[in-house]
Amino acid sequence: MKFNTKTIHGGQHNVDPAYGSVMPPIYQTTTYSQTTPGGHKGFEYSRSANPTRTALENSLASIENGKFGLAFGSGLAAIDAVLKLFKPGDEIISTNDLYGGSYRLFTKIFEGLGLKFHFVGMKDSGKIEEFINDNTKMIWVETPTNPMMNIIDIEAVSKISKKHKLLLAVDNTFATAYLQRPLDLGADIVMHSATKYLGGHSDVVMGSLVVNDQELADKLYFIQNASGAICGPMDSFLVLRGIKTLHIRMQRHCENGEKIARFLKNHPKVGKVYWPGFEDHPNHDIAKKQMSGFGGMISFTTLENTLESAVKIVENLKVFTLAESLGGVESLAGHPASMTHASIPVEEREKTGVVDSLIRLSVGIEDDEDLIEDLKQALG
Ligand SMILES: Cc1ncc(COP(=O)(O)O)c(C=O)c1O
């Protein structure tokens, strides 16, 4: 199957055996009857597995070109499950520009439990090797990064991870499987905040993992069941429904994203614009190589470069909503320094470019003229 067909049919070969419903039923049940102890139809208790969640997990695996999918109650719950693969003393090398909540989970929870993290700028993947030692177990990559849109060469990092027998995990939230498939580029784990483009309608919080290796999948399924951070059947249904239109939504997000990025670049009150489609964006050639489009996420600073100027713009927006999160059909604007990335210490955050005047846009799929008009009036 090709990608667009997979979003609709991937992993969904079992038509509902009860009544032949075309869409997967929402199995809103915790438990399943058994004819004799152990005599069940593959489902015993919904923390371990639920048919609606299984349908979603199969879809997730299919679109990422992986074998095994796992769905969790949030993106952070999915990352939490990955980190539970490790033991005190193990070391992880992570990109230094990443979602603030991932950084908080790494430093405020897992560092306290004995894991050691190195935060490294990965624009030049060669830097990573300097931090590898006998305790290193995993490289954590986010690309494009949130919110600076830095691009990391997944294939080059995977060569390093394979050479040193490390796991490579990629947070694919911004690009989605529509634009980039990390497992095909050599990653071992692909992670999503499914809350974003996969759900696509800003109505579900969810996370996912997809892997190819059976042993790794078994370990992660064990953690998913043992720790229990699963998502419910209704939410599974909603994300499965979201995935069925992922390709057409992403296509429009990319088209609108490009128009808005170019509009901002030419606006006299705008400072820097971060969008991987610009030829002068760092690692643009790598973005071109590993992504089939540049997405709908854009960050920019004001020329004035002050907190006040950024706050004024986000307060004035009318079609864009000032809100956390991204990846929904509607356009959102965020102020990373005070919102999504407030949990990163100011010195760390400014080092990576998350200055007080930075505004992050999640460009939705409305008419691009309306979005541009809105930005025009807000910029003044
Ligand atoms: C890139 C990225 N990774 C992970 C997460 C965490 O996902 P969730 O909010 O679903 O827990 C987010 C949330 O914004 C994100 O943007």
Q: SS3 letters for 303-315?
A: CCCCHHHHHHHHH
Question: What does the pLDDT average to over 85-110?
Answer: 96
Segment 76-99 shows an average pLDDT of 96
Distance 168 CA to ligand 1 centre (A): 18
Query: Active-site residue numbers?
Result: 47, 99, 171, 196
List residues bridging with 334 in a β-sheet. Answer: 360
What's the pLDDT tens digit per position in 117-162? 999 999 999 899 999 999 999 999 999 998 999 999 999 999 999 9
pLDDT band at 344 (very low <50, low <70, confident <90, very high): confident
Q: What is the pLDDT of residue 350?
A: 87
Nearest CA to ligand 1 atom 14: 325
* Residue having the nearest C-alpha atom to atom 11 of ligand 1: 75
Share of the chain above pLDDT 90, in %: 92
Task: Reply yes or no on whether the pLDDT at 371 is more than 70.
Answer: yes
Q: Distance from the CA of 338 to the center of ligand 1, in angstroms?
A: 16
What does the pLDDT look like over 241-264, one tens digit per residue?
Answer: 999 999 999 999 999 999 999 999
Residue with the smallest CA separation from ligand 1 atom 15 is 99
Q: CB under 8 Å to 287, separation ≥6 — which residues? A: 144, 151, 276, 277, 281, 294
The minimum-distance atom of ligand 1 relative to the CA of 142 is 1
In order of 180, 181, 229, 295, the CA distances from 172 in angstroms are 8, 8, 20, 12
Checking if the pLDDT of 179 tops 80, the result is yes
What local confidence, expressed as pLDDT, does residue 234 receive?
Answer: 98
Q: What is the pLDDT of residue 15?
A: 66
| Rounded Cα gap, residues 171 and 197, in angstroms | 13
> Is the beta carbon of 173 within 6 A of some atom in ligand 1?
yes
3-state SS track over 123-144:
CCHHHHHHHCCCCEEEEEEECC
The CA 103 to ligand 1 mean position distance, Å, reads 11
Is the Cβ–Cβ distance between 380 and 316 less than 8 Å? Answer: yes
CA 182, 186, 187, 192: dihedral to nearest 10 degrees? 10
Residue 38 φ/ψ region, left for φ over 0, alpha for ψ in the -120 to 50 degree band, beta for the rest: left
User: CA torsion angle for 47, 49, 52, 55 (degrees, to 10)?
Assistant: 140
Supply φ then ψ for residue 195, to 5 degrees. -55, -25
- CA 228 – ligand 1 centroid, Å: 19
101 lines ligand 1 (CB under 6 A): yes
> Is 343's pLDDT higher than 90?
no
For residue 17, cis peptide bond before it (omega within 30 degrees of 0): no
Query: The tokens of 189 are what?
Result: 């784990």
Compare 15 and 370 and report the one with higher pLDDT. Answer: 370
* Region 55-63 average pLDDT: 98
Euclidean distance between CA atoms 14 and 35, whole angstroms: 23
Start-end of H helices in 130-228: 154-163, 176-179, 214-227
